[in-house]
Amino acid sequence: MVESFLALEKLMEKLGSRAFEELLLFYCVKNDAEKLKETLTVVKCVVLDAEEKQVHNHQLRDWLEKLKDACYDAEDLLDDFEVQALRRNLRNFFGSSNPIAFRCRMGHQIKKIRERFNEIANMIHKFNLTLGLDDRKGQAVQKREPSHSFVRPSDIIGRDEDREKIIELLMQTSDGESET
């Protein structure tokens, strides 16, 4: 049920890692990645509420499916960055792996992914989702009133006669006489 949230969490964790920040800076796509992280943060705030409401709303289920697919595609894109970094360590500039062409291609792909997430984020208002995260790392805020069995006597209305009858029955002995 929380597949979309976990996919989003994994993607944001990868984007926020120090190693990826260095890679993104090297390939001159750090600004695009920052914008993507901002959009993901907005979406992440409502995804748990959406997960709960998807049972009754088919459009919301489709929205979550699009979100999950976009997360997986973005993760694949980040994997491409890792592969390119490994290639760069193994080959020189004029080998079969040209870093300038890679920068250009990856810049376009990040832009496409970012646009997909922006579309997904713009649909949030359509589903009346509530923000469900606090400052703790990704934990959902659950507000619930405490339950108890105490009832104030002033809240009980019209039960005085019944109470007196019950007390009278309890005070009687088995042969019908009253004890004090």
DSSP E strands, the chain: none
> Residue 62 and residue 75: Cα distance in Å, rounded?
20
Q: Look at residue 147 and tell me if it is in a domain.
A: no
Q: Look at residue 164 and tell me if it is in a domain.
A: no
pLDDT of residue 140: 46
Cβ proximity of 122 and 42 under 8 Å: no
Provide the domain limits for residue 99: 3-127
pLDDT of residue 1: 47
DSSP string, 46-76: HHHHHHHHTTT-HHHHHHHHHHHHHHHHHHH
Q: Look at residue 105 and tell me if it is in a domain.
A: yes
Q: Look at residue 179 and tell me if it is in a domain.
A: no
Q: Look at residue 31 and tell me if it is in a domain.
A: yes
Region 32-46 average pLDDT: 83
Q: Look at residue 160 and tell me if it is in a domain.
A: no
Residue 135 has pLDDT above 80, yes or no: no
Q: How confident is the model at residue 179 (pLDDT cuts 50, 70, 90)?
A: low
Nearest to 25 by CA among 114, 103, 115: 103
Q: Look at residue 29 and tell me if it is in a domain.
A: yes
pLDDT of residue 136: 44
Q: Look at residue 148 and tell me if it is in a domain.
A: no
Region 47-69 average pLDDT: 86
Nearest to 71 by CA among 108, 114, 17: 114
How many independent structural domains does the chain possess?
Answer: 1
> Residue 106 and residue 83: Cα distance in Å, rounded?
12
> Residue 78 and residue 72: Cα distance in Å, rounded?
10
